[in-house]
A and B are shown apart, each in its own frame.
Chain A
């Protein structure tokens, strides 16, 4: 029953993984004027699918207006958020659609060079992807002056942040830059650069194929379109699902839960933990909790202390260390909950930590440190007794 319902919901959307001739799609798309493409993206309301949710039309518009002898298109395949595995699946199943999306971007902003930044953990995909790339580069030769290559990461979560990614592409430590300037004006090697999530690029291709109105008709007023969700944890049916945006969490849990779901972590370690009593009122989308697609379910057998400790351990390791609020903050949070658990500090210490997260949110340089408070506060607020006892 549930499986049938999920199948129906997926069929209604079916954009990312649908079969389509990418070359034909691209040929048609390249006939459309850049200005018209920007207009279509604006109408579609497509926002970045990596998590931050910036309007794709705006990003491309800025890059197209920026001056530069060279311009770059980068597909961000540094998928490191715990619980997210959709980009790997997309690159594996429909790589040509990603490449088509990149070429459409190149045509729109006037770029001649493109890169896929593939995380080191996905090195085993590199060979087949390179083959697809070579074929693609060869096929588009007569259509567009644009060549794509691969750059590999080497195991650093923070490189998913676009300026850290660019630093890494330049052969440096993956430390986020000060913003502004944004990559759309000063990106890779100082030239205007569009960095888009893999999924976003496929949606661009699909908007060119099916029209902006079709995309905008999916989802809700504030969260238009669809999204690929990576479902894991305590669920009988873990996997990748492309669904409309704006679903409420109660509905989601009814479909994917194991009947005993006590909490869902929306958006991975940097996202929010939603307890059962708030499922009905929580929307998965920009009007509620925006997400890069990571959906982890926890049933009542799970200790939320362990979950939070796991996340904090993760952030301690992955904080790049250049700004103090993040570097020290992450360690203080982890040490703090350990001390409370071991009765070395009173439960009231959690309030001290919570206060400190406000500083992290304001003073951290990039999204990593700024989003650590999300999981910390949402778990500590909803599951205080589990953290203390």
Chain B
């Protein structure tokens, strides 16, 4: 979908007034994967807001990325309860499996690996979000398996 059409659809779905900006950005983020400067400009133009205003809102929120990210955002909870349950081992296993470090995206543009603040599953850590799916009580092996399954689903050969 072109940027202009995607923005138009998101605005039609959410509404054109200022208080719907978050919702517009959320829909586009999930449709197009990221909120590039070109996209934010288009949103500003179509909603009649200043570009700075739209950029300011987008960059405030950690789930509204303005830099390129993978098709799948892997977010490992870094809060203390998950830390105590050894989330570092889970992160390292994923780093080794994906050949990237925390904060990076795989070359094929499939996965971005980050750490995030409390995901609200402190009694069943370590946990991670893969896009909007939550995975609990992870081990290094189970985390890698989840990623492998996505790879298979996507039909990507390693």
Contact = CB atoms under 8 A, between A and B. Distances in A.
Interface in B55-106: 56-57, 60-64, 78-81, 83-84
B31 to A, nearest CB: 14
Contacts of B84: 233-234, 298, 302
Given A80-B117, A169-B19, A173-B56, A155 B80 contact: no
Interface string A289-325: 0000010101000100011001101100110100000
A50 to B, nearest CB: 14
A83 B81 contact: yes
Interface string A143-183: 00000000111111100000000001111111100000000
Contacts of B117: 80, 82, 155, 157, 314, 317-318
A168 B26 CA distance: 13
Contacts of B21: 171-172
B134 interface: yes
A298 to B, nearest CB: 8
A85 interface: yes
Interface string B111-124: 00000111111111
B60 A81 contact: no
A389 interface: no
A78 to B, nearest CB: 10
B124 A238 contact: yes
| Chain A interface, >50% SS class | mixed
B57 A173 contact: yes
Q: Name the residue in A85, A230, A298 with the highest tally of chain B Cβ atoms < 10 Å from its Cβ.
A: A85
A53 interface: no
A170 B22 CA distance: 8
Nearest to B30: A123
Nearest to B56: A173
Contacts, number: 126
Interface residues of A, number: 54
Contacts of B56: 172-173
A48 to B, nearest CB: 19
A120 interface: yes
A120 B79 CA distance: 16
Given A83-B79, A154-B62, A155-B61, A171 B120 contact: no
A314 B79 contact: yes
Given A82-B81, A296-B81, A155 B118 contact: no
B123 A170 contact: no
A84 B120 contact: yes
Contact of A124 (B23, B62, B123, B133): B133
Interface string B121-139: 1111100010011100000
A189 interface: yes
B23 A120 contact: no
Contacts of B133: 124
B6 interface: no
Interface residues of B, number: 35
B41 interface: no
Contacts of A314: 79, 117-118
A73 B11 CA distance: 25
Max chain A CB contacts within 10 Å: which of B22, B78, B129?
B22
A152 B27 CA distance: 11
Nearest to B25: A154
B18 interface: yes
B60 A82 contact: no
Q: Which of B60, B83, B124, B125 has most A Cβ within 10 Å?
A: B60
B20 interface: yes
Given A85-B121, A171-B18, A238-B124, A154 B81 contact: no
A134 interface: no
Nearest to A127: B132
Nearest to A232: B122
B119 to A, nearest CB: 5
Given A82-B80, A170-B19, A310-B83, A121 B122 contact: no
A153 B23 CA distance: 9
A313 B23 CA distance: 29
A115 to B, nearest CB: 10
Contacts of A151: 22-23
A62 interface: no
B61 A156 contact: yes
Interface in A121-138: 121-124
9 contacts: A80-B118, A83-B122, A154-B25, A171-B57, A172-B56, A232-B125, A296-B80, A313-B78, A320-B60
The 5 closest A-B pairs by CB, nearest first: A171-B21, A238-B123, A154-B61, A232-B122, A155-B63
Interface of B: 18-23, 25-26, 56-57, 60-64, 78-81, 83-84, 116-125, 129, 132-134
Interface of A: 79-85, 87-88, 119-124, 151-157, 168-175, 189, 230-234, 238-240, 265, 269, 294, 296, 298, 302, 306-307, 310-311, 313-314, 317-318, 320
